[in-house]
Amino acid sequence: MTSSPPQHSSSSSNTNSPSSILIIGSGLFGLTTAYSLSRRHEFANTSITVIDRSDPSSTSTFPSPDAASVDTSRIVRADYADHAYAALCDEAQLQWRQQEKPTDLGAQGRYYETGLVVVGDATTPAPVAAPPVEGDVSESPHKKLTGMDYARKSWENVLSLASHNPVLAERIRELPNVDAIREVLGTGGSSGAWGYINKNSGWTDAGASMAWLVEQVRQTGRVNFVAGTVVSLEHNETTVTGARLSDGRVLTADLVMVAAGAWTGSLVDLEGQAVATGQVLGYLDITEEEQEILGTMPVILNLSSGLFIIPPTNRILKVARHAYGYSNPQSLPIPPLPASPGSTSNPVVSIPRTSLHDPALCIPAEGEADLRAALREMAPLPGLVDRPFTKTRLCWYSDTRTADFLIDYHPYWKNLFVATGDSGHAFKFLPVIGDKITNCILRDCPPEFKEKWAWKEWEGSKVLFTEDGSRGGKPGLILDEELDKAAQILPAV
Ligand SMILES: Cc1cc2nc3c(=O)[nH]c(=O)nc-3n(C[C@H](O)[C@H](O)[C@H](O)COP(=O)(O)OP(=O)(O)OC[C@H]3O[C@@H](n4cnc5c(N)ncnc54)[C@H](O)[C@@H]3O)c2cc1C
């Protein structure tokens, strides 16, 4: 059961703007917030600092290369089962579509409106609920959707959003069967039993868009970038006062915002709120001829299997899986900030493991098999299906139970704000999310997201799976166990 968190956090920032804000993490959430704060009159006198684990010798690597926000591509879609997120993307796309000037967000190859095919499988059962924990008799209050349910709701939402504009509406078409799906894909492959194509959706070059965003933030001249790793939050009995870095430095601030993506749980106890899950990606070098065929395909996303392919550019094809993912529970040398003052936190937390610090890291065989299945099904070009991946990657989500973001003041610690719980779908909101987060800091959260983004009081199982109907794979997989199952392929990057 969810209930409202206690109204106990009365930070000094309730009514007065803080004189200093420290943002931990320069990914999508951290950087868009810094940009928004720097342009809002309420924060005209606030000093804004952004810290990241980025390379201290470089001024251009924010965010860190293993951040979720850095990759070749991210889907931009209003195709959501939830109407509020669909409408938020609709708003964001107004800016993604700006491409006239080279400095416009969508220009210079940062945004492609290639269309998106959304499909679901006919036979997939409803997702498995979290396994029962001893003494836990609670049930998830959230209705579990199948991938097909999600696809159908998403279809209704995009049709409703486009209903005011015949040009947009005309670009959405039902694909009632496998053959119709095959025809629009144009790769010879198909996926799912029913779906639709939405030509108003597309994808962005995420790395290039983040580089664009860093430049916008730098140009404001308002934001101080610090390279360093936060090891713990500084606090007194009731209040968070800053952050301690691995080199011993301490940064203090009136308001600390933790936007450390999937790493957030290593700094703040998120038990029952969000968990870091690793997701598999594979990249293939393709020939000029293959580029020509696949370069014109739409994005394809199967909401039952979670498998998706984004059209290749520069002869690199990416295939991925939006899944329950792998958790990576580790005992931390410094436990995260406890759930409330006076309590203790569990030092065992799922944290990201990436090839930045573990160059030999592979993806589990189970994940690779699914990526191969995606190629076989969605892009079955001769010679492609069995071609070794040029590289693979584990990329980390901060997953919440409902796939809603977690953007709120901490209910028990004063002067602490979190912006995390991206649940693998936040990138598309780059043009708009920073302003929404700033509104939340000003305690003016958009009404449609007030409950969704709030810190949840979870009284039941602490085992957490995202159950929004969009995930493939199996729930409950643990990274080390999966890696042990087979000696595996190429190093991840
Ligand atoms: C495989 C994959 C596919 C995805 N596909 C899509 C998609 O198609 N469409 C879409 O909209 N979204 C997609 N997403 C989701 C999107 O990329 C994320 O929602 C978004 O990038 C999350 O941003 P973030 O700021 O929360 O986290 P991140 O980008 O991970 O940023 C967190 C930052 O915090 C820093 N940090 C962490 N710990 C510390 C510390 N202790 N000290 C200092 N700094 C720290 C990290 O170095 C990092 O730079 C995908 C994500 C993945 C992984």
Instruction: Identify whether 376 is part of a domain.
Output: yes
Instruction: Identify whether 391 is part of a domain.
Output: yes
pLDDT digits (tens, 9 = 90+) for 22-74: 999 999 999 999 999 999 999 999 999 999 998 766 666 799 999 999 999 99
Instruction: Identify whether 5 is part of a domain.
Output: no
5-15 b/e (C-beta count within 10 Å ≥ 16 → b): beeebebebee
pLDDT digits (tens, 9 = 90+) for 162-186: 999 999 999 999 999 999 999 999 9
Given this model, what pLDDT does residue 9 score? 39
CATH of the domain at 299: 3.50.50.60
Q: Quick check: 472 and 323 in contact, CB under 8 A?
A: yes
Is the per-residue pLDDT at 355 higher than 60? yes
- Integer Cα distance of 453 and 440 in angstroms: 9
Is the per-residue pLDDT at 249 higher than 70? yes
- Which of 51-55, 297-301, 445-449 has the weakest average pLDDT? 51-55
CA angle 189, 110, 207 (to 5 degrees): 90
Is the per-residue pLDDT at 491 higher than 60? no
Overall average pLDDT of the 316-343 stretch = 97
Q: Quick check: 91 and 78 in contact, CB under 8 A?
A: no
Instruction: Identify whether 127 is part of a domain.
Output: yes
Instruction: Identify whether 3 is part of a domain.
Output: no
Given this model, what pLDDT does residue 237 score? 96
Q: Which residues line ligand 1 (CB under 6 A)?
A: 24-30, 51-53, 63-64, 67-69, 74-75, 229-230, 259-263, 267, 279, 281, 320, 395-397, 420, 422, 424-428
Output the CA 29–ligand 1 centroid distance in Å: 8
Q: Quick check: 170 and 81 in contact, CB under 8 A?
A: no
Instruction: Identify whether 216 is part of a domain.
Output: yes
Phi, psi of 233 (to 5 degrees): -90, 140
Output the CA 310–ligand 1 centroid distance in Å: 18
Q: Quick check: 225 and 387 in contact, CB under 8 A?
A: no
- Integer Cα distance of 262 and 256 in angstroms: 17
Overall average pLDDT of the 272-289 stretch = 97
Instruction: Identify whether 4 is part of a domain.
Output: no
Ligand 1 atom nearest 63 alpha carbon: 49
Say how many domains are in the chain. Answer: 1
Output the CA 491–ligand 1 centroid distance in Å: 21
Ligand 1 atom nearest 75 alpha carbon: 8
Question: In the structure, what pLDDT confidence band is assigned to residue 487 with cuts at 50, 70 and 90?
Answer: low
pLDDT digits (tens, 9 = 90+) for 104-114: 999 999 999 99
Output the CA 383–ligand 1 centroid distance in Å: 33
Instruction: Identify whether 271 is part of a domain.
Output: yes
Domain that holds residue 339: 12-485
- Which of 4-13, 66-75, 138-147 has the weakest average pLDDT? 4-13
